[in-house]
Chain A
Amino acid sequence: MSCPKTRHLMTEYFDDRLPSVARTEIERHLEVCEHCAAELEELSALKDTLEGWEEQRVPHWDRGTTVFRNAHGKVSGIGGGWTWQWLPTAATFVMFVLLAFNVSISSNDSGFTVAFGEVGELFEQAQLEQQLANFASMQQQQQEQDLQLFMAQMAERLDNNYLRLMQAVMEQARELTAENFEQIYTYFEQQRQLDMETVQVSYEQLLDSDFETLRSMEQLANYVQFQGQLR
């Protein structure tokens, strides 16, 4: 005994998304239709049999890793050679940095000193200016000392001269006659010339001292310029 609804009901029955209204209707029919119920029972048993498939283990294979490695060999194979490939570029970069930033490396007793371009130059320049200032200060002190010494010598020399002059005047005053006036005048004239010579000598000494200072400054400036050219 067959049922005209069997095919339609069975095709719909295995749909998991079948609306609940339709499913209820099918269930109701299955309760009253033996043929459809028997068909469903057999098909469900078959479905259960098929669902009894046990997962088989995959035979050993390389999982495509050989193909994968070969294809990516150019990427992953670089590995060890990578460093060497980029070494010239890295060296060029280091040289560029050294030149661009004017890096200077100097070593002394306390170790290495690395100075970067402008910063190092500025630092060195500041140091030089400090040294020059110290030198100028020392020169000034020296000049002041020299001048004081010179003035003391001048004063002493003039004092001696005038003392001798006064003594001579006092001697001459005792026997002051008209003809002695000329001698006194001559004597004064001699003293004046002597003083002038003394002042001239002193002035020359002062000039010499200044000249020395100027030469020292010039030498120092030349030295600084030379150092600059070296770098």
Chain B
Amino acid sequence: MAFIDEDESLVAAALAGSTPAWEKLVRRYESRIYNYGLRLTGNGSDAMDLTQDVFLGVFRNLHRFRGDARFSSWIFRIAHNKAMDLNRRKALLQGQSFNNEESQDFASRIADPNRAAEPEQRLALTQQNRQIQKLLQQLPLEQRLAVELKIYQSMTFDEIAQAQEISENTAKTRFYTALRKLKTTLEESHVLS
């Protein structure tokens, strides 16, 4: 396996039944997908569910990967679809989506992030990450995705527009609106703390 390093080669080997190739492919992207899940869902449990869903989707659709797009783009398209599915499922089951779980009394929580965090996350997440996570949870999903793709996936507005099937101007507006909302939230939390 030492000589197989390209994503496309790993995909081909995995399709041929190579478990090491599959594992290498998963190791390469699992962190990016999991962290994407942490920021998007706001908790480790959902992030892990999302990670597993994404790689299950990758596994089931691996034969459809033609190599005409980068594997990283392809896997994040699957991740995006899975995130939408997970958000819809949660909304149906609990009457709430990712971002509504802790929206109430957020300003006081962000001043003391440990109160909102789950016990296992408190051990795993740094204070910086917890704060970011709580901030992002204040955004509607489409704005959160715009921030995610622009800041963490380093996409251009043109690419975000394609990924979310919106116009480039809408992508720019979503990003700006998200930043404005977060700024307002931070200002409120500073006033309260």
A63 touches B23 (CB 8 A): yes
Nearest Cβ in chain B — how far from A53, in angstroms? 5
Q: Please judge, given known A-B contacts A46-B183, A53-B128, whether A67 and B56 are in contact too, CB under 8 Å.
A: yes
A14 touches B150 (CB 8 A): yes
Residue of B nearest to A53 (CB): B132
Range class of the A interface residue count? 20 to 34
B27 touches A63 (CB 8 A): yes
Asked if A111 CB lies within 8 Å of chain B CBs, one says no
- With beta carbons under 8 angstroms apart, the residue of B14, B51, B135, B182 that contacts A58 is B51
B147: which A residues are within 8 A, CB to CB? 50
Asked if A72 CB lies within 8 Å of chain B CBs, one says yes
Docked complex: B158-193 residues within 8 A CB-CB of A: 158, 169, 172-173, 175-176, 179-180, 182-183, 186
Nearest Cβ in chain A — how far from B37, in angstroms? 10
A53 touches B39 (CB 8 A): yes
B interface: dominant SS: helix
B19 touches A61 (CB 8 A): no
How many residues of B are counted as interface, with CB atoms below 8 angstroms from the partner's CB atoms? 46
Nearest Cβ in chain B — how far from A37, in angstroms? 15
Report how far A220 CA is from B47 CA in the complex, Å.
Answer: 93
Question: Could you tell me which B residues sit within 8 Å of A by CB distance?
Answer: 14, 17, 19, 22-23, 26-27, 30-31, 34-35, 38-39, 44, 48, 51-52, 55-56, 59, 124-126, 128-129, 131-132, 135-136, 147, 150-152, 156-158, 169, 172-173, 175-176, 179-180, 182-183, 186
Could you write out 11 A-B pairs with CB less than 8 Å apart? A12-B172, A14-B150, A43-B180, A46-B186, A49-B131, A51-B151, A53-B128, A55-B31, A55-B35, A59-B44, A61-B51
Question: Could you tell me which A residues sit within 8 Å of B by CB distance?
Answer: 7, 10-12, 14-17, 42-43, 46-47, 49-59, 61, 63-65, 67-69, 71-72, 75-76
